[in-house]
Amino acid sequence: SPFNVVAWHGNYLPFKYDLSKFCAVNSVTYDHIDPSIYTVMTCVGDEAGTALCDFVIFPPRWMSTDPDTFRPPWFHRNTMTEFMGLLWGGYDAKKAFLPGGASLHSCMTPHGPDAVSYDKAVADPCEQPTYFSSGLAFMFETSCMLRLSEFALNNKCLDAEYGACWNNLPNRFNEAIKEQDE
């Protein structure tokens, strides 16, 4: 594994990459597309079709969707583990996600936009493309399980109330079941 090495041999070389030169190539016809379209680098895993690790960025970009669709990341669970951070600016799916902050969503942990971002996105008719230029976020996505160190778990900066960002979301699932039963 590239995470378990003492020294590099062969053509593995450290390098510097200017993330402002990354070209986000995408067409978001409807809703939020899989973040793999923003992959800068990948390390292929042992199993076909899986990555040991992807390095992904969410740079300034055009966000164009069909009318009445949903621009932020939808609520989802992954078969990969996501470690995400914000380098500068803001993040469109979490208003309280600040520069220098990071989040870890382990394999199959549900997550998505906070209640404020969700309400704003649902109210947006998406009639015009928008240019998101107010931040630069990154994500390491891996098929490996990650765990927090004791330092991270006991750090005063840990947001122990992280899950509260979803408290004000309406429960639309049970409403849909009631309507179906009636």
pLDDT band at residue 180, thresholds of 50, 70 and 90?
Answer: low
DSSP letter at 91 equals B
Task: Say whether pLDDT at 54 is over 80.
Answer: yes
pLDDT for res 98? 87
Question: pLDDT of 86-135, one tens digit each?
Answer: 999 988 777 778 899 898 998 888 888 888 888 888 888 878 777 888 88
CA neighbours within 13 Å on the CB side: how many for 132? 20
Task: Say whether pLDDT at 16 is over 80.
Answer: no
Question: pLDDT of 32-50, one tens digit each?
Answer: 667 777 888 888 888 887 8
pLDDT for res 21? 84
Task: Say whether pLDDT at 1 is over 60.
Answer: no
Quick one: average pLDDT of 63-73?
Answer: 70
The Cα–Cα gap between 127 and 24 comes to: 21
CB 59 within 8 A of CB 24: yes
- The dihedral sign for the CA sequence 130, 37, 56, 118: positive
Question: pLDDT of 121-179, one tens digit each?
Answer: 888 887 877 788 888 999 999 988 888 899 989 999 888 888 888 888 887 777 666 66
Catalytic machinery residues: 32, 76, 82, 105, 111
CB 79 within 8 A of CB 105: no
Quick one: average pLDDT of 18-42?
Answer: 75
CB 66 within 8 A of CB 29: yes
Phi first, then psi: give them for residue 103, nearest 5 degrees: -135, 150
Backbone Cα Rg of the chain: 18
Question: How far is residue 40 from each of residues 133, 138, 179, measured CA to CA in Å?
Answer: 18, 10, 44
